[in-house]
Amino acid sequence: MRYLALDLGEKYIGLAISDSLGMLARPLEVMRRTSRAADFAHLAGLIAEHQVDALVMGLPLNMDGAEGPQAAWVRDYTAEMAATLGLPVQFWDERLTTIEAADILQAQGKRTLGMRIDAVAAAVILQSFLDAHPATREQT
């Protein structure tokens, strides 16, 4: 089972991909958002290229776990994306993933400025999801 994770932002979407066994996540790319139609077309190309089976969408929750306006926007975007792409989508808590991504880049001696951090944040989201769903791997 191969997953594509998205860290959705207003200007950019960080993307990460799992290996075919659904065990390891790695940053894939950061795409600049233009319109939903263009976003979905680009994602469809990646899905076909990487033979993706399901999507994992980072859900921005408040620190108390409640959903705010940003989470509502992500849910709206995701509903349209899922209908367009025809793949199942799982939401996953993305609290503090950008901070963890910055720590990872810093530990590797890489700059934390720029768009690369969005793809690393998507990989953090995806790895957390994969680690919490080991039964999914056993089915493949």
pLDDT of 6-16, one tens digit each? Answer: 999 889 999 99
Residue boundaries of the structural domains of the chain = 3-138
pLDDT tens digits, 71-87: 999 999 999 999 999 99
pLDDT at 55 over 80: yes
C-alpha–C-alpha distance, residues 16 and 6, integer Å: 7
C-alpha–C-alpha distance, residues 26 and 126, integer Å: 8
What fold is seen in the domain 3-138?
A: Nucleotidyltransferase; domain 5 (3.30.420)
DSSP state of 39: H
pTM: 0.86
In the prediction, which pLDDT does 3 show? 97
Percentage with pLDDT > 70 across the chain:
84
Name the nearest CA neighbour of 58 among 113, 117, 123, 134. 123
In the prediction, which pLDDT does 12 show? 93
Q: Are 13 and 30 in contact (CB under 8 A)?
A: yes
